[in-house]
């Protein structure tokens, strides 16, 4: 029987099969198998017992024998990004940065490389498989002056890159992007499942064996996921996503996976002609364009990790021109919006379900936590009844099916953020009031509500 020259791989989880399958046995994804040719690496052979090329065997050690030093984390020059990473770049880590085309991934990594070379006095190697050296220099001159030990190289062959890294011994390496890289051990085209997996595996070994921090850029699909096999995200230590509207200036980075810290933190950047700049006070930026004297506009507070963010919620309720009213949610869960509309109609006897309803979270953010429920409800009611919400009111709380306003986590941080930005009235769940009775809140009035009917009375005042 002729030996098979190709195998089928699942794009989602990397499961291998000798034949095509409609559903992956590993992750249960449908139509995810792609065919890739398999060819043994040139000159490859199993290691013999006395072979001199056998890799060095590592000895097991006790936990007390492992030494950690402050130098194990390298600051990026962006305090916001350091918080997302858990305190800085970990030595010997492999970080995957994904994002839409043109969102600013290469610009961000170039600025990080510049900061590491100029401020931290680290040696950096920037490898590009998409741009020429002249293109990189044009972008670098537009951002800032490059100083320090920062070297550039255009290469797509992984073996050549690994050899160069071993010769230069840099502290930090950037690979832009992993989809353009290829290895001689695989005959498939660059960007295929086999090439991405094998190239990433070699970079992973390079990072762990030599203590080099490596950032790799990954393209994303139309669904917003990193292109290539899902196993790529399992191999790396950190997965970061860079998001934002390409037509706007706001960029948001959040962690999808982080072996060295929390995945709930976000970093906010602003893009201008000089490159990316971190935003240390995103709440003030998100509220900068808030309309004055308009109904349907409510300020609420969401938590992204340990950071409270004051966000403007915009609601619009208009007469429907069709028998089936429209529902649109931008930055908020569509199904939860339908649920909140049903609660308002049932518990407040408002015929809001017959109208078209639109909800928008400003700034391009996506908020999934239930603490925004009360803000959504008040924005919809404000638009429906054409009642203006006072500019000095901040609202937060979860709404249940009975119309009750339930407690949420991190209430103290939300209230402190609202006071810092000048809000004098805070509408919140009644449960939290007992914790603030004996505190001096600097002329800030806490308004507890037990249900959405009490919140409606606040709007009518």
Q: Per-residue pLDDT tens for 409-439? A: 989 889 988 988 889 999 999 998 877 765 6
Q: Per-residue pLDDT tens for 214-251? A: 999 988 766 666 656 677 888 899 999 888 766 667 88
Angle between helices 334-348 and 452-460 (to 10 degrees): 80
Alpha carbon distance 309, 287 (integer Å) = 10
Pairing of strands 250-258, 238-243: antiparallel
Q: Residue 158: how many CB atoms within 10 A of its CB?
A: 25
Q: What is the mean pLDDT of the chain?
A: 85
Alpha carbon distance 190, 180 (integer Å) = 6
Alpha carbon distance 200, 192 (integer Å) = 12
Are 240 and 96 in contact, with CB atoms under 8 Å apart? Answer: yes
Lowest mean pLDDT among 48-62, 166-180, 189-203, 290-304: 48-62
- In whole angstroms, what separates CA 85 from the centre of its chain? 11
Structure tokens at 24: 């992956």
Give the C-alpha distances (Å, rounded to integers) separating 114 from 102, 118, 151.
20, 6, 10
Q: Per-residue pLDDT tens for 150-204? A: 999 999 999 999 999 999 999 999 999 898 999 988 877 787 778 888 899 999 9
Alpha carbon distance 457, 68 (integer Å) = 57
Answering whether pTM is above 0.85, one says no
pLDDT at 1: 42
User: In angstroms, what is the C-alpha Rg of the chain?
Assistant: 27
pLDDT at 40: 55
Alpha carbon distance 457, 459 (integer Å) = 5
Alpha carbon distance 112, 140 (integer Å) = 12
Q: Residue 109: how many CB atoms within 10 A of its CB?
A: 24
Element (H, E) at 446: strand 445-449
Pairing of strands 89-90, 73-74: antiparallel
Alpha carbon distance 305, 90 (integer Å) = 20
The mean pLDDT value for 287-298 works out to 86
The mean pLDDT value for 304-318 works out to 89
The mean pLDDT value for 1-9 works out to 66
At residue 52, does pLDDT exceed 60?
no
């Amino acid at each position: 029987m002729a030996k098979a020259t190709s195998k089928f791989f699942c794009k989602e989880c990397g499961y291998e099969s000798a034949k095509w399958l409609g559903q992956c046995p590993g992750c249960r994804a449908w139509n995810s198998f792609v065919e890739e040719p398999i060819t043994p690496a040139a000159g490859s052979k199993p290691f013999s017992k006395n072979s001199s090329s056998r890799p060095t065997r590592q000895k097991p050690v006790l936990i007390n024998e492992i030494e950690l030093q402050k130098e194990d984390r390298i600051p990026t020059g962006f305090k916001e990004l350091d918080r997302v990473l858990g305190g800085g770049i970990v030595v010997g880590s492999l970080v995957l940065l994904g994002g839409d085309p043109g969102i600013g991934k290469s610009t961000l990594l170039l600025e990080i490389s510049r900061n590491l070379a100029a401020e931290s006095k680290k040696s950096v190697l920037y490898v590009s498989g998409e741009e020429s050296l002249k293109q990189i220099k044009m972008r670098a001159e537009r951002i800032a002056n490059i100083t320090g030990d920062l070297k550039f190289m255009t290469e797509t062959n992984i073996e050549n890159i690994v050899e160069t890294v071993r010769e230069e011994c840099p502290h930090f390496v950037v690979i832009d992007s992993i989809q353009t890289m290829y290895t001689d051990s695989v005959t498939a085209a660059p960007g295929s499942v086999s090439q991405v997996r094998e190239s990433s595996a070699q970079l992973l070994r390079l990072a762990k064996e030599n203590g080099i921090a490596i950032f790799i850029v990954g393209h994303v699909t139309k669904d917003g996921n990193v292109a290539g096999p899902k196993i790529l995200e399992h191999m790396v230590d950190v997965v970061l996503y860079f998001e934002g509207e390409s037509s706007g200036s706001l960029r948001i980075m959040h962690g999808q996976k982080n072996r060295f810290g929390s995945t709930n933190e976000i970093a906010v950047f602003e893009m201008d002609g000089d490159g990316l700049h971190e935003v240390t006070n995103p709440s003030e930026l998100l509220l900068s364009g808030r309309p004055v004297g308009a109904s349907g506009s409510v300020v609420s507070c969401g938590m992204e990790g340990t950071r409270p963010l004051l966000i403007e919620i915009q609601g619009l309720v208009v007469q429907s021109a069709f028998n089936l009213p429209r529902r649109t949610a931008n930055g908020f869960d569509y199904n939860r919006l339908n649920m909140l509309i049903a609660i308002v109609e049932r518990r407040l006897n408002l015929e809001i379900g017959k109208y078209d309803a639109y909800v928008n979270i400003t700034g391009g953010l996506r908020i999934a936590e239930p603490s925004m429920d009360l803000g959504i409800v008040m924005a919809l009611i404000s638009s429906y009844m054409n009642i203006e919400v006072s500019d000095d009111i901040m609202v937060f709380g979860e709404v249940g099916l009975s119309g009750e306003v339930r407690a949420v986590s991190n209430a103290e941080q939300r209230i402190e953020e609202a006071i810092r930005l000048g809000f004098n009235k805070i509408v919140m769940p009644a449960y939290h009031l007992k914790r603030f009775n004996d505190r001096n809140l600097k002329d800030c009035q806490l308004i507890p509500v037990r249900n959405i009917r009490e919140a409606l009375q606040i709007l009518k005042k």
